[in-house]
Amino acid sequence: MKTPILLELSEITKTFPGVKANNDISFSIKPGEIHALLGENGAGKSTLVKIIYGIMQPDHGQMFFGEKLYKPSEPFEARANGIGMVFQHFSLFEALTVAENIELGINKEAASKDLNRQISEISETYGLPVDPIQRIGSLSVGECQRVEVVRCLLQKPRLLIMDEPTSVLTPQESHLLFQTLTKLSQDGCSILYISHKLEEIRMLCERATVLRDGKVVAQCSPREESARSLAKMMIGSNLKTPQPSKPAFGEKRLSVNGLSINSTNPLGTSLCNLVFEVRAGEILGIAGVAGNGQTELFEVLSGERTVDKNMVQLDHRLVGHEGPTKRRELGMCCIPEERVGHAVVPDMSLWENCILSARTRQKLERNGFLNIPASHNFAEKIVENFNVKTPSVKRDVRSLSGGNLQKFIVGREMLQNPRILVIMQPTWGVDAAAAADIHFALNELAETGTAILTISQDLDELIAISNSFAVISEGRLSEPRPTINVTIEEIGLLMGKTSHFEKNEQNDPP
């Protein structure tokens, strides 16, 4: 007998300029199963669920829902078909009550008069305690998620998509959610569960589809796999052999001493007692899945967020409390992950963007006035040395392509002869030739004695260029060690680790 299939994907392909986000993806979900979609950031998970939920349309391929051809052009149609989705970022109005929010978000037919009773019923059946008359603004993140789940369940979905649901939850809340999901699946609702947390998937899911670089690389039953083997599928084993690290480095340039901060953003990550140092000539690589504290760490290092004086040290000076300008003066240059709108202002020219971060070290400012000729010269020097393709430095930065823009930004910081360089995602979205140029330039800079800290999600890259290696996960940093001693399995485990038990000890609510 043929097993019934709820949703079937057949050869789904979606291309964005420069990247194939989904490449010939086929898999199926059975009724009542909890199906995991596993993959690193950028593996194509989000694109795929957006296609299923009707936010995007595939370039090729077909979907079948309950054996019928399914081709949603709007999320509305997905909902009408019985597909619900809980996003990582909630769409709730803070000033309205739970019931009002739910009423707004569901199709009219489903919003009957006794909505409050329905909400209470669902929340009892599935162990989702929510109070219909409370205002969203007064709820915790976990409670907001429950509201979103209830909203989906009211429409009696046959498939529920959950996008990294536990990334915003405390361990206790995650546990409650798992119970709900299990109950749901017993009642016949299928769940597509997106995550990169391996332990969770092993506990919860019956089947898993693993994506890497937009392709399905494995289908497995996670309960029969180890976290280690799952990590290997997710990351792949095509990592290059690490280069031998240089035996000796110079004096200590950057040290971070017991850095702990609370995230100001509810979806951010708090940092917990980070300790590391970077010496002259050393390249320290910090790996980790996005959203584990990298952004927060960068902001502390660049000086955009100031912290206690003692937490950051440049050479012999304690600079935790100093802003970006002072740190640049002392020889620290930083390259953020976000290029447009963080590293550069898109509607300003190349030479104007030089002033943003190079005005102190390159003297592009004289008695408060802009030194326009010097800025032009510096911009031209970057264009020449880093092979940036642009007709003129008077062009707006937004006219540069991704790779050229990154070369410009990297050049702007490197040509300032930094003593310390912090660089995030050095080659994200950059073509292979440009990536090789940037790697070469980083190595060269290290050889002249600059201390370099690289934060990246690209393991190949980190292993290829860094001498020392550490992994950041949930705001904690593993102890840095020489890259040559690190194995892929270890990295995978450190990256996908769920440190629930450690966390429980400290974060238990009173």
Partner 1 sequence: MIRLEARNQTSRTLLFWSPILAVGITVIAGTIMFALLGKAPIRAIAIIFLEPLGDIFSIAEIVVKATPLILIAVGLSFGFKAGIWNIGAEGQFTIGALSGGSVALALYQIDGAWVLPLMCLAGAVGGMLWAAIPAFLKTRYNANEILVSLMLTYVAVLLLSALVHGPLKDPDGMNFPESRIFHDAATLPILIEGTRAHVGFVTAIVAVAISWLVLSRHIFGYQIKVLGQSQRAARFGGFNEKHVTWICLMISGGLAGLAGLFEAAGPVGQLVPALPVGYGFTAIIVAFLGRLNPLGILLGGFVMALTYIGGESAQIELNLPSAVTGVFQGMLLFFLLGIDVLANYKIRMTQPLSRKLSE
Residues forming the site for partner 1 (CB under 8 A): 73-74, 76-77, 80, 302-304, 323-326, 328, 334, 336, 338, 341-348, 352, 355-357, 359, 365, 368-370, 372
- Return the sign of the alpha-carbon dihedral for residues 381, 385, 391, 397: negative
Closest distance between partner 1 and the C-beta of residue 314, in Å?
Answer: 15
**CB closer to partner 1, 367 vs 506:** 367
Q: Which is nearer to partner 1, 54 or 222 (CB)?
A: 54
Closer to partner 1 at the Cβ: 79 or 253?
Answer: 79
- Quick one: 345 or 484, whose CB is closer to partner 1? 345
Determine the Cα–Cα distance for residues 115 and 255; give it in Å rounded to an integer.
Answer: 57
Rounding to the nearest 10 degrees, give the CA dihedral for residues 325, 331, 332, 333.
80
Q: Are strands 451-455 and 420-424 parallel, antiparallel or unpaired?
A: parallel
Q: How far is the CB of 298 from partner 1 (least distance, A)?
A: 10
- Closest approach, Cβ 424 to partner 1, in A, equals 12
Task: State whether residue 317 is helix, strand or coil.
Answer: strand
> 293: closest CA among 274, 269, 311, 275?
269
Question: Of 194 and 319, which has the nearer Cβ to partner 1?
Answer: 319
Closest contact distance (angstroms) between CB of 141 and partner 1 is 22
Minimum distance from CB of 151 to partner 1 (Å)? Answer: 20
Nearest-approach distance from CB 365 to partner 1, in angstroms:
5
Task: Please state, in angstroms and rounded to a whole number, the distance separating the CA atoms of residues 129 and 144.
Answer: 11
311 and 259 Cβ atoms separated by less than 8 Å? yes
- The one-character DSSP state at 74 is S
Of 262, 289, 75, nearest in space to 167 by CA: 289
* CB of 62 vs partner 1, minimal distance in Å: 19
Residue 418 carries which side chain, given as an amino acid letter? P
Minimum gap (Å) between residue 197 Cβ and partner 1? 29
Cβ distance to partner 1 smaller for residue 327 or 476: 327
Report the residue number, 325 or 504, with the smaller CB distance to partner 1. Answer: 325
Is the distance from CB of 436 to CB of 402 less than 8 angstroms? no
Structure tokens given for 137: 């603004």
Q: Distance between CA atoms of 60 and 10, rounded to whole angstroms?
A: 9
The nearest distance, CB 211 to partner 1, in angstroms, is 30
Residues 500 and 174: their CA atoms lie apart, in Å, by: 10
H helices within 45-170, ranges in order?
45-52, 75-81, 98-105, 115-125, 141-154
CB of 483 to partner 1, least distance (A): 29
DSSP state string for 437-464: HHHHHHHHHHHTT-EEEEE-S-HHHHHH
The answer to whether residues 299 and 316 touch, using CB atoms and an 8 Å cutoff, is no
**313 with 327: CB under 8 angstroms?**
no
**Residue 341 or residue 509: which is nearer to partner 1 going by CB?**
341
Cα separation, 287 vs 469, in Å, equals: 8
- Per the CB < 8 A criterion, the answer to whether 459 and 238 are in contact is no
Residue 304 beta carbon to partner 1: minimum distance, rounded to whole angstroms: 5
Distance of CA 272 to the CA centre of its chain: 19
Q: For residues 271 and 260, what is the distance between their CA atoms, to the nearest angstrom?
A: 5
Shorter beta-carbon distance to partner 1: residue 406 or 473 = 406
Q: Based on CB atoms, which residue is closest to partner 1, 11 or 74? A: 74
Identity (one letter) of the amino acid at 331? G
Q: Tell me, what DSSP letter sits at residue 112?
A: -
In the block, residue with structure tokens 């007064």? 138
Nearer to partner 1, 261 or 491 (CB): 261
Partners of 507 in beta bridges: none
CB-nearer residue toward partner 1: 163 or 337: 337
Amino acid identity, position 19:
V
* Residue that has been written with the tokens 């690209």 in this structure: 458
Smallest gap from Cβ 106 to partner 1, in A, equals 16
